[in-house]
Amino acid sequence: MRTNISKVVFLLIVFIFSSNFYGCGYNTLVTMQESVTSAWSQVENQYQRRSDLIPNLVKTVQGAADFEKSVLTEVTDARSRVGQMKLSAEDLSDPQKFEQFQKAQDQLSSALSRLLVVSENYPQLKTNESFLQLQSQLEGTENRISVERKRFNETVQVYNTEVKSFPSLIMAKIFGFKEKNCKTKGSNKIKKKQTPDLAEILRLIKKKEGK
């Protein structure tokens, strides 16, 4: 009789422990995954904000006599490629898709950097109110992109650590929670071109103008 009671108590303890383990582990992963998705949405919002500034920026710069057409073409082409790249929450676990998306954004940053460098050779743009406003908006957007990317990277790192840690890794394998991709710097291919950093260029221009 005592043996049967002991078995029942043991099974009850195992059941309670398993239920708590399942609930806590699974719910924690779900919450962390949602945090990653939310953080990525903020990054995308800022990338979109930057992209929305480009048509007016290009239109304003086109008004400058003899402005280098190849630079404008590079910017519009880079923006077009970015517009074709869509990255869903599920794609954050796909290294190739994530790399392609980030590469397109890096190329747009490089194209904008070159446009701003070349614009320094056109004095009329330095007194163009529309250009100065767009330049200021672009600077603010670049700062927000940097902030949101940092938050995203930190959120992903916390999530990935949980996915790889015991006992959460058991729940992760059972329910298909995969590690997410994150990147704190631009791609190596872009860096090899030695294109000045867009945010740094904007800071230098602002300093030069004495604002």
Dump pLDDT digits (tens) for 97-116.
Answer: 999 999 999 999 999 999 99
| 108 within domain boundaries | yes
Q: Mind listing the pLDDT tens digit for each residue in 49-93? A: 999 999 999 999 988 767 888 999 999 999 999 999 889 888 999
Confidence band (pLDDT; 50, 70, 90) for 18?
A: very low
| 104 within domain boundaries | yes
Please list, in sequence order, all residues whose beta carbon lies within 8 angstroms of the beta carbon of residue 150, skipping any fewer than 6 positions away. 184
* pLDDT of res. 210: 63
* Mean pLDDT, residues 169-194 taken together: 69
* pLDDT of res. 10: 43
| 5 within domain boundaries | no
Confidence band (pLDDT; 50, 70, 90) for 6?
A: low
Three-state DSSP at 2 gives: helix
User: How far separated are the first and last CA of the chain, in Å rounded?
Assistant: 86
Please list, in sequence order, all residues whose beta carbon lies within 8 angstroms of the beta carbon of residue 78, skipping any fewer than 6 positions away. 104, 107, 108, 110, 111, 112
Cβ–Cβ under 8 Å, residues 117 and 196: yes
| 64 within domain boundaries | yes
Higher pLDDT, 200 or 93: 93
Cβ–Cβ under 8 Å, residues 111 and 81: no
CATH code for position 50: 1.20.1440.20
Full-model pTM: 0.79
| 127 within domain boundaries | yes
| 132 within domain boundaries | yes
Alpha-carbon span 198 to 110, nearest angstrom? 7
Cβ–Cβ under 8 Å, residues 115 and 61: yes
* pLDDT of res. 170: 87
| 18 within domain boundaries | no
- Give how many domains the chain has, as a whole number: 1
Tokens of 195: 């294109």
Task: Provide the domain limits for residue 46.
Answer: 27-209
22 has pLDDT over 60: no
